Structure 1
Amino acid sequence: MLENFPFYLSLIVLIIFLIMIGNKIKVAYPVLLVLAGLGISLIPGIPMLKINPELIFIIFLPPLLYEAAWATSWKELWHWRRIIGSFAFVVVFLTAVSVAFVANHFIPGFSLALGFLLGGIVSPPDAVSANAILKFVKVPKRLSSILEGESLLNDASSLIIFRFALIAVATRQFIWHDALLSFGWMVIGGVGIGLLIGYVFMKIHKRLPTDVNMDIALTLVAPYVMYIAAEEVHSSGVLAVVSAGLFLSNQRHKFLKGTSRLRSENVWQSFVFLLNGLVFMLIGLDMPEITSGLRAEGINIYQATGFGLLITLVLVVGRILACYGAVLVTLVMRNFITVADAKNPGLRTPIFLGWAGMRGVVSLAAALSIPVHMDNGMAFPHRNMILYITFVVILVTLLVQGLTLPILIKKAPLPEFPDHLTEAETEEMLENALSRELSNFLGETKDPNNLNHQIKDLVSILNEHHHSTRAIESNEQIKTIWLTLLERQRILLLEMNKKHPNIDEEIIRKYLHKIDLDEEKLNC
């Protein structure tokens, strides 16, 4: 371990360099990192990196899920709950079924249970890859919200399928009523444990005399506690982290001080940046171990690659058909229930959603977690083949879909959806509301010492220092009054976010971030 430490440090430097290149040439960094990892693994003398699946499930997965949940808008998630739920559960299950039957029919020696195992592994699209690609193109808010919401939940559903299939392969039996009870406990237990632990952490932040460093440390520890606690009682650790992350994100202004929110945001951005980079580099670096396992079993690499391409084709075609099916179901069900949008989204929208189905870290971690030997001591059947097919699926979807998705969007622009006000309209509405709140506040403030004039001066100073971190000099009385106003404006923004579904929450969060910055300047 220690003798390879310089190698690991050089990997981090290379990751940073490659991400800079990706931003420069507008190519999603997961694509570059996987290719770089693959290229490095072929260099003679490079240490063979053996990835422990617990490393990915325990070290990487909880914080990545937690950060994604923290950044997701609950308002958008709830608004598109039906289509997100159908993609995250129904489509994932149908994908696993399709893969199971195709693998059982075409891959020699693959039982239906092994097919379901493979289907559970490769069914969930990767959110990090999609987000990295979509930042270079303009995508309607509704589509990015659907992809973000789906990615939060599909990991849980796919891992549940994977776990049941793993038991079926090992025991050679599948008891439906036991499976249903286990499924119910994994979902209900995972969500319940996550919310309970999230509530406890919220009370710790709120009631105990924590400082900024303690708050940041607690946010870093929280996802690991949630995940491990849920897994220890055989419920879904993924759902525990996601449900708690969504709950705490929605309550963040009630228990975290502005300074803690600002500084923890910076820490988390750096932390997640490093984790994502390492994960995609590790995918490429793991190739020698996977291919050596195939050679040890005497499996033809070209035949295995063909099976991988076949499963990839099933995934891509199946997802596109599912997207068109979702549109058709929505158009039919609008006659019976209220749906989020009853209008026909056109033919290009399902193509986009279907093509944005790159696979990544969860698929790799699930494949690697397959035990080498079963409880009876026998080797797990076709483990190396499953690993290799998973690698092919990840590599092909990242390269083909990842590189062509921006081109597809540019050549066939997506329709404009009137779900939200434009950014200019939203900012005008928010500025007017904040100005009215300021006027009301000044009218209510008793002003024996001409405080209003001083407050107005402070407003102009803060506006001039909008992009500055330098502290504002003012007397304590003015600071106290101004901090009261900032809190009222924060409450106003949060209320507007709840009452106006056509306001993009990302813009609201930018204004809340500015209020936190203004508080930080005053408190310095």
Structure 2
Amino acid sequence: MEHFELTLLGLLIAVAGLTALARALNVPYPILLVIGGSLLGFVPGLPHVELDPDLVLLVFLPPLLFHAAYFASVQELRRQLRPILLNSIGLVVLTAVTVALVAHALIDDLSWAAAFTLGAICAPTDPLAATTITRRLGVPPRLTSVIEGESLINDGSALVIYRTAVAAAVGGSFDLLDAGTDFVVDVAGGIAIGLVMGYALVPLFRRARVDPLLVVTLSLVNGYIAYISAEELHVSGVLASVTVGLVLGWYSPYISDARGRVSGYGFWDVLVFLLNAVLFILVGFQLAQILDHQERSAGTLLLLGTTVSLTVIVTRLAWLNTAPYVIRALDRRAVQRTRRVGWRPRIVVAWSGMRGAVSLAAALALPLDFPERDLVLFLALCVIFATLVLQGLTLPAVIRKLDVRDDGSAEREDLLARRAATDAAIARLHALHEEEWTRDSTVDYLLRNYDVRQRRLAQRAGEAAEEDGDGVPLEEHTRARAAVIREVLRAQRDAVYTLRKDGAIGDDVMHRLERELDLEELQLDAMGLAD
């Protein structure tokens, strides 16, 4: 037990170290986690970890899927619905079929059911690494929305194929008509349960929003409730979790307050990171054992892993550079021309098809008596490794080489929202001037602050001079003001820490004031005035 505790401590330190290294190298952390997790399996003395396959999907998928759906843009999903559905259903089926054909042809003892299981595991994409890169490099939001939206739905469609193939591999029977019927029922049933639960939970969240801890707890539990309810009814728990997340995410401005949202952001960031890290580490624990049980040579395994990985990558490239031309030939409507995307953005989307947490969880969830389980798990890890490392590390170069850049739409939307909010604040302050309960000095002070913000936004829009009334550049004036505020906040913290050190105040008072000062400083960061 003591040995295991020390190992667990070492793993946590490794996760922290890999994350710090990823930040230093300016690469998404999943890339280094998959490398570090794979290497862990070869460290001597690591304990053997027995995983219950039935619990893997249940523990990991609901929160990951709910989080992705909750923070997804429903408006962008609607705008990009056709390419998202084509990729998340058509490309998933094509990937599962091509991987199954290649794997069955190369591996003599691999049944068709096991081959399709491998294909289903390799089919869903993970947008975490890709969207981190695309946002940093200013890729058009439309492309990022397609990548994110595709991953939301393809998890469900891929895992429906996965469940059917696993049942056939273990049970030994398969009927194409029954499989097609099950697919439709699973998808429709999962979405229906998610919709019912989502709309039923909206009033509950509205009543609970006064308690931030309760709101965060409910947001975590909802994904599990939707998933378990759907699975008990033999429909897609994945799509149920995604759907309830989309519904609650859309209504979040009306059913949560500032405290709940701030608490939720921090909670979900940490939880999603830990779940991803644990998944990669669990695979690392089992990698050496998987290879030990293989009778095939290292060269054969490497060849199989490389071939399956290339099949996944080439299939995506071929689909995204073929399907659009088929659509253009079939759909001659004028509106179709407005939806066209050039070959350069399509290459970026195609090269953003990394695999990650969902594929890992599906591989780990294979029943222990699944035929060729270790080989399927190894090949799935090869695909994840190849797509995350090869594509993840080269995606920035691809984006720069193809010169795929935002057309300014994201900046325009951001500016529109900020100006509308500022104008609303100024209008409300002028109205408050007429209220008897307000103090003119307070309103005037706030008006001056919002006037500076309004002029700064006008400058961004190119509608105002870049200097204030004193001849000082407005941007310089704003940053100087932010620097002064930071110095004032630092002085306040030092005073509070000194009182606590001298025993004049307790830790509870210190933490309360520290939180208030932190929120003031974070407001500067949110305005783009980071230190």
TM norm structure 1:
0.80
Structure 1 equivalent of residue 409 of structure 2: 421
SS of the residue corresponding to residue 338 of structure 1 reads helix
Could you tell me which of 332, 335, 339 is aligned with 1:338? 335
Write out per-residue CA displacement over residues 430-468 of structure 1, whole angstroms, 9 at most, x where no aligned residue: 344334424543454543466455323245568789998
SS of the residue corresponding to residue 262 of structure 2 reads helix
196-205 vs 47-56, which deviates more?
47-56
2:446 matches 1:455: no
Matching of residues 429-508 of structure 1 within 5 Å = 429-442=416-429, 444-445=431-432, 446-448=434-436, 451=439, 453-460=441-448
Which amino acid in 2 is paired with 1:447? E
Q: CA deviation at 1:72?
A: 0.9
Q: CA deviation at 1:342?
A: 3.3
SS of the residue corresponding to residue 234 of structure 2 reads coil
Task: Confirm or deny: 8 A CA contact 2:99 2:308 kept in the other structure.
Answer: yes
Q: CA deviation at 1:142?
A: 1.2
Task: Confirm or deny: 8 A CA contact 2:56 2:365 kept in the other structure.
Answer: no
Q: CA deviation at 1:422?
A: 4.9
Structure 1 residues without counterparts, runs of 5 or longer? 374-379, 471-512, 519-524
- Tell me, in whole angstroms, the C-alpha distance in 2 between the residues paired with 1:340 and 1:229: 42
Write out per-residue CA displacement over residues 248-287 of structure 1, whole angstroms, 9 at most, x where no aligned residue: 0100121112211121212212222222222233333331
Task: Confirm or deny: 8 A CA contact 1:370 1:383 kept in the other structure.
Answer: yes
SS of the residue corresponding to residue 329 of structure 1 reads helix
- Tell me, in whole angstroms, the C-alpha distance in 2 between the residues paired with 1:383 and 1:20: 34
Matching of residues 63-462 of structure 1 within 5 Å = 63-134=63-134, 136-207=136-207, 211-294=211-294, 298-336=295-333, 338-339=335-336, 341-343=338-340, 345-373=341-369, 380-414=370-404, 416=406, 418=407, 421-423=409-411, 425-442=412-429, 444-445=431-432, 446-448=434-436, 451=439, 453-460=441-448
Task: Confirm or deny: 8 A CA contact 1:53 1:365 kept in the other structure.
Answer: no
Task: Confirm or deny: 8 A CA contact 1:84 1:150 kept in the other structure.
Answer: yes
- Tell me, in whole angstroms, the C-alpha distance in 2 between the residues paired with 1:456 and 1:53: 63
- Tell me, in whole angstroms, the C-alpha distance in 1 between the residues paired with 2:124 and 2:28: 19
Task: Confirm or deny: 8 A CA contact 2:114 2:169 kept in the other structure.
Answer: yes
- Tell me, in whole angstroms, the C-alpha distance in 1 between the residues paired with 2:159 and 2:334: 31
Number of aligned positions between the proteins: 462
2:41 matches 1:41: yes
- Tell me, in whole angstroms, the C-alpha distance in 1 between the residues paired with 2:257 and 2:422: 24
Task: Confirm or deny: 8 A CA contact 2:209 2:260 kept in the other structure.
Answer: no
SS of the residue corresponding to residue 358 of structure 1 reads coil
- Provide closer, same or farther for how the CA distance between residues 427 and 76 of structure 1 changes in structure 2, counting only shifts above 3 A: closer
- Tell me, in whole angstroms, the C-alpha distance in 2 between the residues paired with 1:394 and 1:429: 40
Which amino acid in 2 is paired with 1:26? N
- Tell me, in whole angstroms, the C-alpha distance in 1 between the residues paired with 2:321 and 2:63: 33
SS of the residue corresponding to residue 349 of structure 2 reads helix
Task: Confirm or deny: 8 A CA contact 1:305 1:389 kept in the other structure.
Answer: no
Q: CA deviation at 1:86?
A: 0.5
Structure 2 equivalent of residue 500 of structure 1: none
- Tell me, in whole angstroms, the C-alpha distance in 2 between the residues paired with 1:165 and 1:28: 32
SS of the residue corresponding to residue 357 of structure 1 reads coil
Structure 1 equivalent of residue 466 of structure 2: none
Q: CA deviation at 1:365?
A: 2.0
- Tell me, in whole angstroms, the C-alpha distance in 2 between the residues paired with 1:138 and 1:414: 8
- Tell me, in whole angstroms, the C-alpha distance in 1 between the residues paired with 2:264 and 2:325: 43
- Provide closer, same or farther for how the CA distance between residues 134 and 20 of structure 1 changes in structure 2, counting only shifts above 3 A: farther
223-232 vs 407-416, which deviates more?
407-416
Identity over aligned pairs, percent: 33
- Tell me, in whole angstroms, the C-alpha distance in 1 between the residues paired with 2:375 and 2:345: 35
- Tell me, in whole angstroms, the C-alpha distance in 1 between the residues paired with 2:119 and 2:37: 25
- Tell me, in whole angstroms, the C-alpha distance in 2 between the residues paired with 1:212 and 1:342: 42
- Tell me, in whole angstroms, the C-alpha distance in 1 between the residues paired with 2:208 and 2:382: 50
- Tell me, in whole angstroms, the C-alpha distance in 2 between the residues paired with 1:353 and 1:250: 25
239-248 vs 385-394, which deviates more?
385-394
- Provide closer, same or farther for how the CA distance between residues 44 and 342 of structure 1 changes in structure 2, counting only shifts above 3 A: closer
Write out per-residue CA displacement over residues 215-253 of structure 1, whole angstroms, 9 at most, x where no aligned residue: 122112221111111111111111011111111010012
Task: Confirm or deny: 8 A CA contact 1:226 1:240 kept in the other structure.
Answer: yes
SS of the residue corresponding to residue 139 of structure 1 reads coil
- Provide closer, same or farther for how the CA distance between residues 435 and 110 of structure 1 changes in structure 2, counting only shifts above 3 A: closer
Write out per-residue CA displacement over residues 451-491 of structure 1, whole angstroms, 9 at most, x where no aligned residue: 45532324556878999899xxxxxxxxxxxxxxxxxxxxx
SS of the residue corresponding to residue 286 of structure 1 reads helix
- Tell me, in whole angstroms, the C-alpha distance in 2 between the residues paired with 1:336 and 1:94: 27
Which amino acid in 1 is paired with 2:395? L
Q: CA deviation at 1:316?
A: 0.8
- Tell me, in whole angstroms, the C-alpha distance in 1 between the residues paired with 2:426 and 2:132: 42
